[in-house]
Structure 1
């Protein structure tokens, strides 16, 4: 309980509040006096208000008259009670599910009691976009307290620290920053907290919006911080020495510092034997490379480099394009944009309709385009495989980046052929090596080279070999656990 000084007239502020139809002010009749309570009916649970506050006050006041606001403290069985005469603080609390209690209607001081509601919060917290066959399905919802509760169930140690920051001059959105004291480098914590507190924004809609304001650079299509809706991924990141934050009203945690490899790692890799986890991770990375360069190579080969096509394949390739009137680059761009239309339409429609549209639309449009001689059968296969390979990326933001980068490579291949693709790759590597995530290199462990961190990058090595946290994070505690050899006993078979 704290008491603070007045900044402006509370009665004037309440007069402004009354312009809203959901702002209620009512008098509670007690045996010897009246109390006045004010609240937003859309922000609190009025049944809890009646049973947990009004009824208790009426019963308690029969034996103990209320002479001051301090007399309310032993009566109300709640811990979140604040007595204040600062109108700006009262304004902030009323907007955050509090009830204001005044002894007189024109009193400039009041007691604030927290009575929240869970209206509008979905009960289902299964993961939707980061689905995995093996492993837990626990995700987050749009309530920040529920999300922190889920995290504390998994990390139940006192060193698990949650710091709250308020951003948004209009929304005053709660932002919770999470890290493990004694594991996470204090430099990461201080840098992230400083960037969150320095945000000048009117309304914060989602964690992914704050992600762009916190990131080191906005002049890149690559996501510099990892957004996830999976609890196990956040727990793994915190245990590795990273930090995370989430905004109230968002089901996504933002994790940083992140590297390029983090976006191609699936939690499922750790629930399978390390051989299978490594194999599927390599398949995923190969799919990204294929999706990025397949269409560009088709344009380059058909425009400039026919000599690299084997003779046995040259005949079918020429036959498939003999009636196509367009240049290879126009043919590819037409089909790539058509695929993007189908993908966007399927994502914006309801689930069942979107799936039907994607399947039927792809078959109908592809068959019609071939019969109308607008494109070739070979290109239909290449673009379809590229679209499938792009879905292998576990993180949606990185999948969008791969989809976008295909178009610059297609244009470079149309202008300079294979040399254009090589120039594009050089620019891409230079751009990636210049990126940073919360001040840490984005391409670690490749550049700067850290051989010790390769155990969990391209491959997922056995748990006995990945018992140390990533060195580039410079964690306070470097060792996750101390693996011990398994004792195997020989059994006598009779």
Structure 2
């Protein structure tokens, strides 16, 4: 039974009423020093790192240790407080800190303290001065680990939001670069920034992302990958609809192409959307290589993806149902290789694929040096022992190893995981129905991909709906002189026309 419009309105009103009830009531600030300290300690549950510094008989500074910058606290705030009139307005004008506010609500400045603010309380006043001097520790800038490239920038994002924003602004020195801040998570109060270039990004996509973030009602958010899943068009799909990248140059390239970006505090991965299926197989380094080399590498990447997904299922289907497609010179050694194998091809293939995945997962989770050793030695030892024990054939060892190697050519980690997983149901269908099973798997996958969207944009663009002008640069990398600043599904047509007009004027 579908709900009618009246029921939907009632449900919406109930949700809004619940949200209003959940909002904390406004609590005044006590003008008495002892009562003020007692209330703050109760709110913070008397933590051991709660510090109280007395400036005078009527003025104190309270903060949480290790969250504030002690240099700014001692050299600026405490020094300037000794030379100012003891009123919130005078202190607000005197302090030479970029972020200083006067607050008259208890819960608000408690949240600021937990984000690295020092609070100045004056006896007899129901307002406090909040000076934000946070000193969060973060690792230094380093090369990206999951998206390495030979030619191009070697700097990646870190976990500090302000550092990441500064990296982006170094690439894009444009006043049209918009930065909208949000706070998510009732428990974590995680800060994030919505970034886009005004006049280039499609307003519909910006409004969609803004609305989805505003509608979220969650307790915590600790990473951008969680946020991407929450605001996806279809969070139940195995295919990612938003790109997670740790490269500032790739992120800025997306913004310049009309995409919308999100940077989350505490995460080294930024989000780009909307993103089409074909774009997950394009690397930022493709733009830095000469176009014939980049085109060859991109075509090689597509061939490797096809090999990784379908090579093992074709082996299983051919040996189970379609011996006639195997060339005669290959049929004899293949039969001799499988003569002592007690399992049917489907069991043999699934067993070996699982062993490869176990080795890959163990190598990824162990320390770097140990992980590399486990991957190489484990693969050689287990492969040799499996052939000698008659569990699998030599040819299948080569096919599975080639498929695993091909899966590593995918430049995006999230899409690489998808390719690893979709092989297994295709192998099962190939073992049950042969080539017909493979065709069924391809049809089901295409149907699912055609139904997907990213921020409402078609996921299979530019192939569906067909945009023939964008096909060449999606499959190969055209020379830069032939490439318009037009991505698969996210560029304002007006901006393209304006760029062309500017070029004509320049000529």
Separation of aligned partners in 2, 1:211 and 1:375: 41
Matched, 1:71 2:90: yes
**Normalised TM-score (structure 2):** 0.90
Question: 1:467 touches 1:480 (CA, 8 Å); kept in 2?
Answer: no
Partners in 2 of 1:471 and 1:130 — Cα distance? 21
Look up the match of 2:150: 133
Instruction: State whether structure 2 residue 219 is matched by structure 1 residue 191.
Output: no
Worse overlay, 92-101 or 209-218: 92-101
Is the Cα contact below 8 Å between 2:59 and 2:86 reproduced in 1?
no
Counterparts of 1:201 and 1:369, CA distance in 2? 49
Tell me the equivalent position of 2:65: 41
Which has the higher mean CA deviation after the structures are superposed, 460-469 or 285-294? 460-469
Among candidates 45, 55, 73, match of residue 28 of structure 1? 55
Q: 1:17 aligns with which of 37, 44, 54?
A: 44
Aligned runs of 1:223-372 on 2, under 5 Å? 223-372=240-389
What secondary structure, in the 3-state scheme, does the structure 2 residue paired with 1:219 have?
coil
Instruction: Give 1:98 deviation, angstroms.
Output: 0.8
Q: Distance in 2 between matches of 1:18 and 1:219?
A: 40
Query: In 2, are the aligned partners of 1:138 and 1:231 still within 8 Å (CA)?
Result: yes
Q: Which of 375, 379, 384 is 2:392 aligned to?
A: 375
| Structure 2: distance between partners of 1:471 and 1:323 | 51
The change in CA–CA distance for 1:13 and 1:442 in structure 2 (over 3 A counts) is same
| Residue aligned with 2:496, SS | coil
Counterparts in 2 of 1:455 and 1:236: CA distance versus 1, 3 Å = farther
Counterparts in 2 of 1:82-231, with a 5 A limit?
A: 82-104=101-123, 107-119=125-137, 121-231=138-248
User: How big is the shift at 1:160?
Assistant: 0.4
Q: CA deviation at 1:275?
A: 1.1
**Rounded Cα–Cα distance in structure 1 between residues aligned with 2:283 and 2:487:** 17
Bigger drift between 441-450 and 351-360 goes to: 351-360
Cα distance in 1 between the residues matched to 2:275 and 2:223 = 19
State the 1:116 CA deviation: 1.3
Structure 2 counterpart SS, 1:129: coil
Q: Check whether the contact 1:455–1:466 (CA below 8 A) recurs between aligned residues.
A: no
Tell me the secondary structure at the aligned position of residue 444 of structure 1: coil
Contact 1:25 / 1:38 at 8 angstroms: preserved in 2? yes
What is the TM-score when the length of structure 1 is the normalising length?
A: 0.92
Q: Secondary structure at the match of 1:179?
A: strand
Q: Secondary structure at the match of 2:395?
A: helix
1:75 Cα offset (Å):
2.2
- Quote the Cα distance in structure 2 between the aligned partners of 1:311 and 1:455: 38
The answer to whether the Cα contact below 8 Å between 1:390 and 1:399 also exists between their aligned partners in 2 is yes
Residue in structure 2 matched with residue 469 of structure 1 by the alignment: 486
What is the total number of aligned residue pairs between the two structures?
Answer: 470
CA separation in 2, counterparts of 1:308 and 1:19? 76
Q: Call closer, same or farther: CA 1:152–1:38 in 2, change over 3 Å.
A: same
Give unmatched runs, 5+ long, in structure 1. 1-5, 486-494
Unaligned runs of 5+ in 2: 1-24, 30-35
**Post-superposition CA distance 1:430-481 (Å, at most 9, x none):** 1100000000000000000001212420011111111242373251412595
Residues 92 and 46 (structure 1), Cα distance of their counterparts in 2 relative to 1, 3 Å cut: same
CA distance in 1, matches of 2:477, 2:409: 17
Q: Are the structure 2 counterparts of residues 325 and 188 from structure 1 closer, same or farther at C-alpha, using a change threshold of 3 Å?
A: same
CA distance in 1, matches of 2:328, 2:309: 26
In the alignment, the residues of structure 2 paired with residue 468 and residue 46 of structure 1 have an alpha-carbon distance, to the nearest angstrom, of 47
From 435, 442, 458, the equivalent of 2:452 is 435
> What does residue 3 of structure 2 align with?
none
Q: Is the 8 A contact 2:232 2:454 kept in 1?
A: yes
CA separation of 1:55 and 1:288: change in aligned 2, threshold 3 A: same
SS at match of 1:73: helix
Q: Alpha-carbon deviation of 1:328?
A: 0.7
Separation in 2, partners of 1:416, 1:54: 78
Match of 1:478 in 2: 496
Rounded Cα–Cα distance in structure 2 between residues aligned with 1:338 and 1:471: 38
What SS is found at the alignment partner of 2:372?
A: helix
* 1:417 aligns with one of 434, 440, 449: 434
Per-residue CA deviations over 1:365-396 (Å, capped at 9, x if unaligned) read 11111111111100000000000000000000
- Which deviates the most, 472-481 or 408-417? 472-481
Deviations 1:272-316 (A, max 9, x none): 111111110111111111100111111101100111111100111
Report the CA distance between 1:118 and its aligned residue.
3.4
The answer to whether the Cα contact below 8 Å between 1:141 and 1:147 also exists between their aligned partners in 2 is yes
* 8 Å Cα contact 1:167-1:173 kept in structure 2: yes
> What is the match of residue 489 of structure 1?
none
Instruction: Check whether the contact 1:471–1:478 (CA below 8 A) recurs between aligned residues.
Output: no
Q: Is the 8 A contact 2:176 2:199 kept in 1?
A: yes
Q: State the SS of the aligned residue for 1:477.
A: helix
Report the aligned-residue RMSD.
1.7
Separation in structure 2 between the aligned mates of residue 375 and residue 124 of structure 1, nearest angstrom:
47
| Aligned equivalents of 1:307, 1:90: Cα separation in 2 | 77
**CA displacement at 1:255 relative to structure 2:** 0.5
